[in-house]
Amino acid sequence: MKNNAPPEQSVSPADIELHGQRYSYRMAGSGSTVVLLHGIASSSVTWERVMPRLIEHHLVIAPDLLGHGASAKPPGDYSLGAYANLLRDLLDALGQQQATIVGHSLGGGVALQFSYQFPERVERLVLVSSGGLGREVHPILRAAALRGADVVLPWLSVGFDRSIARLVKTMGHFGFRASVDLDETWRAFVGLEEPEARRAFLQTVRGVIDLRGQRLSADDRLYLAAELPVLIVWGEKDPLIPVSHAYRAHERMPSSRLEIFPGVGHYPHLDDPERFAAILLDFIRATVSRPYDPNHRRSLLRADHP
C-alpha cells in the first residue's frame, strides 16, 4: 500500500539501542528498501525534503550516523569500516537484508565501504557528492586534521552574531554560495556546540582526511562496485569535493549513470529535491540488481586489474 504523504510532510525520528548506544533513525514507507546516509556533521534531517517523495514507492531508512544528530557520541571508532558495521547491525535490527544504499559526502564513503564489506546486502549504489573517490577536498575540512583544531572549533560553533557574521564572510571567500552550501555549512558548525559532538566530528574527519586531503580512496576497488547498478550525482559547482571526482569515477565504472546538477554546490538533494528524487526513483525502476555470486566475486578478486 502506497503512502500518499505530500512532499512537505516530515518523517519523525525513532530510537533504537545498538551495543548499548542510542541510534536515531527515520523510517517510513513500504516496498524495496532505500537507505539514505548523510554527510559529516550533518544528520538525517538533510533528507527531510527527499524522503516524502520516496516513501510513496519504497521503504526508506535514514539514520543519524553515530556521533551525529540525535545518535550517541561516545569515544571510539569512527572509521568507515566501523560505520559500515553499524549500518549492517541497524539493518539487521530493523529486519532488512538488502537495500539500495544512497550516500552523500561522508555517507558516500560509508556506502562504498558497506558495498565492499557486505556486497550481498547491496542492491544498488548511489553516490552523491561522495567522499572516497579522490584526494582533493576543501581546505576547511583539511584544517580539522590540524593539531589544535579542537581549540578553534569551539569558537566557530559559538552562536553569537559576531561569530555568525565573520563565518558567513569567511565562507564566501572560500567559495560557498550564499544559499544551500552556506546554510548547511553553518548548520553543521552550530551542531558542534556540544563537546561530545566536536570530539566525534574531529575523530571522524581525522579518520578520512589528513593535511593533504582525503586519506582513503576506493579507486583500486571500484571494479567491484562496477558489478552493481551505480548512480553518481554531483553538483557542478561543488566547493567541498570537486566534480572531477564524479567524472573520474564514471570513467572507472562505465556502466554507471552520471547526473550533474548545473550551477549546484555540495548538496544537490537540497538544491533540487524534486529532481533528485525523480532521478533516484527512475534509476531504481530502470535497474535490476544481480544476485550475489561468491564464486564470481572470488574470480574478480583474483584477476589482474589496472
Active site residues: 105, 238, 266
114 and 81 Cβ atoms separated by less than 8 Å: no
Long-range pairs, 145-151, Cβ under 8 A, ≥24: 145/205, 145/206, 145/209, 145/210, 145/211, 146/211, 149/202, 150/198, 150/199, 150/202
C-alpha cell at 14: 525513532
- C-alpha closest to that of 227 among 128, 285, 136, 303: 303
- C-alpha closest to that of 53 among 294, 297, 279: 279
Residue 59, H or E segment: strand 59-63
User: Residues near 140 by Cβ (< 8 Å), separated by ≥ 6?
Assistant: 174, 185, 240
20 in the Ramachandran plot: left (φ > 0), alpha (ψ -120 to 50) or beta?
left
135 and 129 Cβ atoms separated by less than 8 Å: no
